[in-house]
Amino acid sequence: MYVCLCNSVSDKTIRQAVRRYQPQTFQQLRNFVPVGSQCGKCVRAARQIMEDELEQIPEFKNIA
């Protein structure tokens, strides 16, 4: 589904970017995906997708 119509960004694209780069803020996500730079209507949905995806990523534990 398209999240950002202005830049044709889908939820799949956002999820892939979050899994690959693991941005901790929305501003960091915007460095990898052109979302929320035009009208701004997609910001809330994109942020929610980012947060949901970050929760799914297992945290690395110290081995030593």
Q: How far is CA 23 from CA 3, 44, 49, in A?
A: 18, 16, 12
- The answer as to CATH 1.10.287.130 being correct for domain 2-56 is no
- For the chain, what are the domain ranges? 2-56
pTM metric for this prediction: 0.86
Give me the long-range contacts of 20-28 (CB less than 8 A, separation at least 24): 22/54, 22/57, 23/50, 24/54, 26/50
| % of the chain exceeding 90 in pLDDT | 83
pLDDT of res. 63:
53
Residue 58 has pLDDT above 90, yes or no: no
pLDDT per position as a tens digit, 30-47: 999 999 989 999 999 999
